[in-house]
Amino acid sequence: MRIALFSDIHANLPAFEAFLADLDRRKPDVVYCLGDLVGYNVWPNEVIAEVQRRGIATLAGNHDLKVKNLAPIDIDQLNLSGKNYAYHLITEKNREYLTALPTHIKLEYQLGDEKLGILFTHGSPRSVDEYVLEDTNEDYVLELMAEAGADILCVGHSHKPYHRIIERQGAIKQVVNIGSVGKPKDGNPLGCYVLITINKNSFTKITSGIQVAFIRFEYDIEKAANAIENSPLPVELADRLRKAY
């Protein structure tokens, strides 16, 4: 079983299109999005349309939920500055879609005599805004996972990919941050997503049998950066795309 996970597109259509092209070549068995389709760039509606067209199961990210508090504005008369411009571009229909997204997706596999629980969240199991970082206290991470009944916790939000393995009481727990398709913050401007492979025949909770691959892909960064610079969005966001911070 090959599971593709992606998140934090942030309305970056050039990155999203390059990601989809790479994904289609690899042909995973199933695809999930861990949220933040919108914010920081000018193509939120195009990204949402393609996610819906493909029927990709998607979580709500913290930026997706920001549309709850925005008053409707006629896009033809839109003349805003600052980061909120990105959210006012979103159509009313797409705002309804974003605010109806779930906060968690949980998968449970029966692998021989054992069960494997995989939890997908945007931030943490407790809050869409909470970061689960590579150096987050180990005991606290295990507490979060025990509450959720998860052997593997997959998150986004920080835009910094990592795979963390925690061994405790003869069992292995794993945390995977899947990075960002459209706004990396790890010093590498290439887009990022994850492929998780579950090897059913070799799985145990002691030896694992789970493979995690971070996929980096090129896209037209200048096209995405120029779109920001030619809009009312803060020009700093273009520099962040180019330098991945």
Cα 49 to Cα 11, 16, 89, 97, 242: the distances in Å are 11, 12, 14, 10, 26
From 133, 141, 109, select the one nearest 209 (Cα to Cα): 109
Instruction: Specify the pLDDT at position 170.
Output: 82
179-216 tens-digit pLDDT:
999 999 999 999 999 999 998 776 666 556 799 999 99
Q: Domain 2-106+180-243 carries which CATH code?
A: 3.60.21.10
Least confident of 79-93, 129-143, 172-186, 188-202: 79-93
42-58 tens-digit pLDDT:
999 999 999 999 999 99
The pair phi, psi for residue 121, each rounded to 5°, is -135, 165
142-154 tens-digit pLDDT:
999 999 999 999 9
From 176, 158, 193, select the one nearest 6 (Cα to Cα): 193
Q: How far apart are CA 97 and CA 157, in angstroms?
A: 20
